[in-house]
Structures are given as structure tokens and as C-alpha cells.
Amino acid sequence: MQKLVGLVRRCVEDYQMIAPGDKIGVGVSGGKDSLALLVLLAELRKYNHNAFTLEAITIDMGMGMDFSGIEKLCQELDVPYTVVKTEIGPIIFDYRQEKNPCSMCAKMRRGALNQALLDRGLNKLALGHHYDDAVETFVMSLIYEGRISCFQPVTDLDRTGIIQIRPMLYIHEKTVDSFATRQKLPVLKNRCPVDKHTKREEVKQLVYDLTAKYPDLKERIFGAMQRFPLPEWQPKGRYKRPKDVG
């Protein structure tokens, strides 16, 4: 636990993600990544000299999922929990029958999350993207869009005044998996009809296959993003290349 909290703390400091008095909402989907982020931020809250408040928010997609396990976890962590009910799932898959639903789904979920933060007076949204997500997003942009691009560690959403932060960028996916298992987090099964059948899954497999031949591939890509040419990826604080801890 403490090693992972240390990596989150380092990421937060390197990119100046949290300021005193911040009111942070954690977007909790029920997957292992967002649940791990929730637990680690709740732990960091105990020690961080920049005092901040924490809440958990789940967007109910209208697909019949049970969030009682997450509610119990939030009670144990002393974190307020809100479930926002929507019909995003039925709208996309039943009414519109989207052939490529991921982009619209992400846009609608993010809109609902941002509105939930505004309704509750929160100023920052913490998302559970990790090290591997960043590398895969970079490769996806290169292959499918012909762009050198990736999401940013800190994103200022000008229209809403909300700032998105990604505190787990120094933690590898396999470490998150192990942490979720050890902590017995209440991970929910993804009910999305296209789960595991997306372009992201194709790229994940491609990166996995390439890493078998080039073991340092992920580290080289991640390091390149921090050095050049992506804006906002150069750490602002004291930086030491993160190493996987599990």
C-alpha cells in the first residue's frame, strides 16, 4: 500500500495536481483502476500536507449494475458516495444502436460526471488512468489518427472550470491488478456489449506483443512523452523516472 501511495504522491507533486482546499471527485466506474485510485487517494489524504476533501461519484449507465459493494467500501474509507442514474447504455445500444459506440459513450459519461461535480461543488475530477493507459493511448493516436498525442496528466476544462487529474500515471497495470486482488476491492464485471472488442484492446495486444521482443518499449515511450514533444507532460516538480513496484 505505502509504495503505491508513494508513487501517487510523486505523480501529484511532479504535476502539481492537488492544491490546499481542493474538493476532489473520483470517477468510480466499478473497475479495478478507479477503485484502486479511490483507495490510494483516501490513504494519501491522511498524510498529504495539502489538505483536500474527497468524494466518489459513479455514473449509473442504466445497465442494471449493483453498486452496493462500492457503497460499503466508501463507508469504510469515510468517503461520501453519489450514484448518478442515467440511461446512457440504453440510449447508445438500444435506441441509437451505435456501431462505434465508444466515443459517444465516453463523451456522455464525462458530461454526466462533470455535471455531478458542479452540482456538488467539487473543483477537480480524478480519473484512474495508469502508466499502461498512457502508453496505449499514445500508440493509438499514432496508428489510428496519425498524430503524436495523448491525454494530459492535468487538464483544465475551461467551459466548466473543472480540472481533471490522473494521479496513477506512475503505476503499471499489473501492479493495479495485484493491488485490487490483495485489497479484495469490489470490482464489478463490465456489462458493456463491446467490452474487449475495441481498438484499444487491439493496441493493448500489439504493445504486449512488441514488449516481448523489446522489454523497455513502454518505458521508452513514456519517457519520450515526458521529454518531447507532448505539451503538459514535462514534470514541474522534482522528477525521478518511476519504476514498477509489483
54 close to 26: Cβ distance less than 8 angstroms: yes
> How far is residue 196's CA from residue 194's CA, in Å, rounded to a whole number?
6
Maximum Cα–Cα distance across the chain: 50
Does 23 reside within a domain?
yes
Q: Residue 238: inside a domain, yes or no?
A: no
**Cβ neighbour number for residue 39 with a 10 Å cutoff:** 21
Predicted local distance difference test score (pLDDT) of residue 228? 67
Asked if the structure places residue 242 within a domain, the reply is no
Q: What total number of domains does the chain contain?
A: 1
- Domain for residue 246, yes or no? no
Q: Locate 235 and state its grid cell.
A: 514534470
| 139 part of a folded domain | yes
Tell me the mean pLDDT per 10 residues along the chain, length 246.
93 93 94 96 84 93 88 96 87 69 78 91 96 93 87 88 95 96 91 69 92 93 81 69 49
CATH of the domain at 200: 3.40.50.620
Whole-number Å distance between alpha carbons of 63 and 66: 9
**Does any domain span residue 233?**
no
- For residue 177, being part of any structural domain is answered with yes
- Tally of CB atoms within 10 A around 113: 22
Residue 201 covered by a domain? yes
pLDDT of residue 184: 95
Non-local CB neighbours of 37 within 8 Å, separated by 6+ positions: 26, 126, 127, 128, 167, 168
Measured CA to CA, the distance from residue 180 to residue 124 in angstroms comes to 24
> Cα separation of 111 and 105, whole Å?
10
Provide the pairing of β-strand 81-85 with 154-157.
unpaired
Q: Three cell numbers at 129?
A: 488512468
Cell numbers standing for residue 27? 470517477
Q: What is the pLDDT of residue 159?
A: 81
Residue 6: domain span: 2-227
Report d(CA 215, CA 203) in Å as an integer. Answer: 16
C-alpha cell at 113: 460526471
Would you state the pLDDT for residue 235? 84
Predicted pLDDT at 246: 44
